[in-house]
Structure 1
Amino acid sequence: MAAAMTNLPESDSLPPLARHAVHVFGERGLAPEGVVRDDTLAAEVPVALVFNGVSHAVMMATPQDLEAFALGFALSEGILDSAADCRGIDVRVIDASEAGLPEGMPGIEVQLDISTRSFERLKDRRRSLAGRTGCGVCGVESFAGLDLSPQRVPPRDWIERVDLATVLRAFAAMSPRQLLNAEAGAIHAAAWATVDGELTDLMEDVGRHNALDKLLGKLARANRLDEPGFVLMSSRGSHELVRKCARLGIAAMATISAPTAMGVRMAELCGLRFWGLCRAPRGVLYADGLAVAASGSASTASATASMP
C-alpha cells in the first residue's frame, strides 16, 4: 500500500534553479576587465522534516520532489517500516521572517503524518540530523549509533545480470536526463535501471543522499521497491548510500566515482552488488552480491572489467 499524499502542490513551491549576476574573467574573446552576465545556480533551501508535529531534521536540499524526498528519507533512515506507515504529507513554504532566516531565504516545512508505532520509535532514537547537506552522521552520540551493520539484502536470482555492459548502458542514458545539472551544474542524480540497463527513473538534488532518498521515495510510492533493478549514482559510493539501499532491499548499486573502503565493506556485509568507477569502457566490481563466506568476508575480491 502506498503512502497517502494530501495537500500537495501540483508544482514545486520554490524553483529548483536561480539566476544570479556574475562577473566572468579569462574567457576566450573577453576583454581583460571581463563581462557581467546572468548565471544559473542550483537552489539550496532548508527543508524541515516534521513527523507528527515534531521537527526531526533540517536538510539543505533542492526544492523539488519533496514529497518523495521526505518519504524516502523516512524509509531509508528506518523511521518507517513501509510506505503504508505514512498517512499523509503536506508541504508548506515558510517565510524567511517566520523561519528566522535571512531576508530572501525562505524555508520549506514538510509535515508527515506517521503511524503511532513509527512515531514512538522515532522519539526513542533521540537522533538529530540537523544542518547537513545530505552528508555525514551529525547528531550520532556513540559508535553504536552509526548503524554500520546493515541487514542482509534478500538473494536475487537475477543479480549477475547486473554486469558491466548493463551498468554502462544505464549510465550512458543518465547524463541526458540530468536536466537541472545541465542548467546549473552542482547537482547530483540518483537513477533506477532495469536488469537490462534501461533507465526508468531519475531524481536530482544538490545532495547525493537527498537525490537517493527522492528516488527511493518515488519507488516506494509506486510499490516498486521489489522490482528487479539497480540504483545508479552520479557520485562516490559512500557507506550511507549503501546502508540506505540495503535497508530497503535494493540489491545492486553502481556509482560513477570510486567508493570508500567503508562503503565496500558494508556492501560485502549486506550482500549488495557494488560497481564503482563506471566510466565507459571501464568499471570496477567491488562487491559481487553473491554468497558471503562464514568468516564474513566477501566471496570475491574487487575486479576491474572493460568493454571491448
Structure 2
Amino acid sequence: MKTLENQTLLFDEDCPLCQVYTTGFIKAGMLDENGKKPFSNLTDEEQNFIDIKRASNEIALVDNKNKTVIYGIDSLLKVIGNSFPFMEKVGNIAPIKFLLKKLYSFISYNRKVIIPNKKVSEKVLQCVPSFNYKYRIIYIGFAKLMTALTLFNYSELIPDLPKGNFNRELILAFGQIIFQSLFLLKFDRKTILNYAGNLMTVSLFGSLILTPILILNQFINLPEIVVLGWFGITVLIMFIEHFRRIKILELPNHLAFSWIFYKIIALLIILIL
C-alpha cells in the first residue's frame, strides 16, 4: 500500500465502525502512524481551521503540513485513492459520487441510533452528528421495510400460523412506533424520533438474527420447533438490547414492558386475522 503521509483522519471514538476503518487504514499502511485522531482531542489551534460542525457530520481529513481539511466522501476517496487511484477516479464520477454522498449521509446522520452511546459530560468536544429529520425518517422507513420483509418470510416457515401477509407485517411494524410513541408524548419531537430510530434498529437487529434460519431452510427443511425456538431466542435478545438502549437514552423503563405488551397484541392480531 502507498502511505498517505502527514494526513490525519478525525474520527468519532464512540463509533465502533469509525474506529475499525480508521485503524484499518493505518494497519494496511494507507495512513502513517499519526493517521487518525479522536475528534475530542482537537487542539485550540486545529479548531481555528477545522469546521467543527461539519467534522461532526462528515469525517475530516486534515493535512497537517498545509493546515487544510477535506470532509466526508472526499476524505475517504483521497485515502483510498492514494493506494488505488482507479477507485478514486470511479468514485469521483458525478452520478457515483452523488450516490456515495447520500449513502454516507444516511449512515453518518443515523450512526448514533445504529450504535448509541451515553453522552460523556466531561468531554468538551463530542462528535455528535446534527439531527437530520430527512435521514432519520428514511432510516426508520428502511428498517421498517426490512423488518416487515423478514417477518413475512419467517412466518411462512410456521405452518400453524395463519398465512403471512407482507402488508400486515408492515402495518404491525409501523404500529409499534405509534404505540411506543404514546408513552413519550411529554418529550419533544427529536427525542421521540431518536427513540424510534433506536427501536427500529432493534427490529433490524432481530431481522438479521432470523436471516440465517431463512437461508438454512432453503437447503434443509427445518422442524417447526427449531424455527419457533430460534424466534423465541431472538425476541429475548431484542428485549435485552431494547432495554439497554432505553438506559443509554435515559428514557422511562416502562417502554421495555410496553414493547413486550405490543408484541403480545401483535401475536393475538395475527392469530385472529
TM over 0.5: no
TM-score by length of 1: 0.21
Higher helix share: 2
TM-score by length of 2: 0.23
Higher strand share: 1
